Amino acid sequence: MEGEYITVKICGKEKTYAKGTQYLELAEEYQKDFSDDIILVSVNNRLCELHNRIKKGGEVTFVTTADRAGRKAYRRSVTLLMQKALFNLLGKDVSAVRVLACISQAYYCEMPFSKAPDETFLRRLKEEMLRLASLKLPILKYSVGTDEAVELFGELGMTEKECLFRYRRSSNVNIYSLDHYKDYFYGYMAAHTGYLRYFDLALYGKGFVLKFPDKKTKEVAEFTPSVKYFDTLNRSREWGRTMGVDSVGALNNAIASGRMQEIIMVQEALMEQRVGQLAQMVASSGDRKFVMVAGPSSSGKTTFSHRLCIQLSAVGLKPHPLSLDDYYLDRDKAPRDADGKLDFECLESLDTEQFNRDMTALLRGQTVELPTFNFKSGRREYKGKRLTLGPKDLLVVEGIHGLNQKLSYMLPEESKFKIFISALTQLNIDEHNYLPTTDGRLIRRIVRDARTRNTTARETIAMWNSVRRGEENYIFPFQDSADVMFDSGLVYELSVLKAYAEPLLFHIDKNAPEYTEAKRLLKFLDYFLPVPSEEIGRNSIIREFIGGSVFPV
């Protein structure tokens, strides 16, 4: 009968299916053509779970565990599998198990002290997870009213979720169910537990890590954590717990109760104190002429460098900020990536030879004219900015490659003090959904680049994968070579960025390839109550992104 069959386009060819056919059937039909597991589909540029059914025609694209969205769905689903296995082993005590952070292709989890894990427990947990995976149990999604969700998570002892949804503007919440275990997760899920075969568990810190595959999607990646990163993250989280703002719901409580001005002032005071301590370390570290500040995109390197310069001046030194961006090659000479796009993330995009000539000349006491890069014209310019280093002078050099020895190959190691800066977080979304630091940095960059570089949110999202690849290749491998790691994250920043980022994200056309990511970020920002920016100090790192900074950023 007419209307019972629908034509869709798959892999460039049209095929007809009965209306109501699950996308899971399509995935099983085409899986032989893919080396990685198909875990989601994209239908007319909209992500869908495999349980969804064909309702209308259009283009269907398969999303595998090698794709960014697929990898996230896989990790999310394995986390639900772990929670179900923990529930089977512990009962309602599972509510106290928290997924806190992503570290080296693994999720770091902690349990209550009375249930501190050991090797025997982790072995039992892994065995139970594998048993559940072998059963191919369906992961089901259903919608409940927000008030019902609040009541449900209160009964389950998931107080952070309960608090989170008290501020939910949407009238409904999607709940996932696995063999009667119920939970909420931020994002899409696999169709059943049979997909979830590649994982491992290991003791780490005060808890354990749930390890995942990386680029080889059917092999668990080696766990190689950064000790400095983990220690810095723990200090930040301890501050969040002390201030009573260690989850998004708790932050919203603080906003609603009028505590935010106090929290802003305390955190900014703490950051200034830590920058001052760093200045003391530099001053007492010998004759260091170059303070190298490196970190991933949108870490606040520029503002941090200026604030550090002020504190260095306060201890009697004469600092001079220098951005590695000023040593970019002219656009017509810049390298391109595998897709033929300009690659601003690789070390080869910088004129390292000129940088080393200038820095060694300064080290010898010579006067050097320093460049300035014009981002609008895409060219390096010289405007008479000259510098000579005296006994008390030093350069604060900031840029993503600052810790890479290949950048400053001509400078003696004893002349450098190395600082790695990254925007970590004191928050979790809730017990089982950690807050990705990369999302925070992406939102920072969307807001900043729209303001300072006339770059649309769509353009920023389009280049983000390239930025992330550059970070993984050129930045994070050097973080443990730093003398100090510094956290530039602010507990309140997403509540401030919300008002600036949302209009930019809403502007992205629904037919654009970047719309799916924009929609995800809008949902992410919807968790946060807004905080006005008027009371934030002009030297705050957040001012680098929203504007109004006292520094030239």
Three-class secondary structure assignment of 4-68:
CEEEEEECCEEEEEECCCEHHHHHHHHHHHCCCCEEEEEECCEEEECCCECCCCEEEEEEECCCH
pLDDT of 286 over the 80 cut: yes
**Over the chain, what is the mean pLDDT?**
93
Of the listed ranges 94-98, 125-129, 163-167, 461-465, the one predicted with least confidence: 94-98
What is the pLDDT at residue 340?
Answer: 80
Tell me what pLDDT residue 1 has.
42
**Looking at the DSSP assignment, which residues form a beta bridge with residue 368?**
387
Q: What dihedral angle (degrees, nearest 10) is formed by the CA atoms of 93, 99, 100, 104?
A: 140
Q: H or E element: which one contains 398?
A: strand 393-398
Residue 257 structure tokens = 């109760």
Instruction: Round to whole Å and give the CA distance between 184 and 161.
Output: 8
Residue type, 315: V
pLDDT > 90 fraction of the chain, expressed in percent and rounded? 79
Whether residue 324 contacts residue 448, with contact meaning beta carbons closer than 8 Å, is answered with no
Percent of the residues in the chain that have a pLDDT greater than 70, as a whole number: 98
Cα 553 to Cα 539: distance, rounded to the nearest angstrom:
11
Q: Identify how many contiguous H helices and E strands the chain contains and give both numbers.
A: 15, 21
8 Å CB contact between 518 and 460: no
Q: For residues 197 and 195, give the distance between their C-alpha atoms in angstroms, rounded to a whole number.
A: 6
Give me the residue label for tokens 């259903």.
Answer: 142
pLDDT at residue 168, as a whole number: 85
pLDDT above 70 for 3 = no
**What value does the mean pLDDT take over residues 8-18?**
92
- Residue 113 pLDDT grade (very low, low, confident, very high; cuts 50, 70, 90): low
User: In which band, very low, low, confident or very high, does the pLDDT at 115 lie, cut at 50, 70 and 90?
Assistant: low
Candidates 156, 154, 209; CA nearest to 181 is: 156
Single-letter residue type at 410? M
Read off the pTM.
0.90
Report pLDDT for 114.
Answer: 62
Give backbone dihedrals phi and psi of 264, rounded to 5 degrees, phi first: -60, -45
User: How far is 86 from 38, CA to CA, in rounded Å?
Assistant: 27
Q: Which residues pair with 19 in a beta bridge?
A: none
The tokens describing 23, both together, are 């996308």
Among 244-248, 373-377, 470-474, 501-505, top mean pLDDT goes to: 501-505
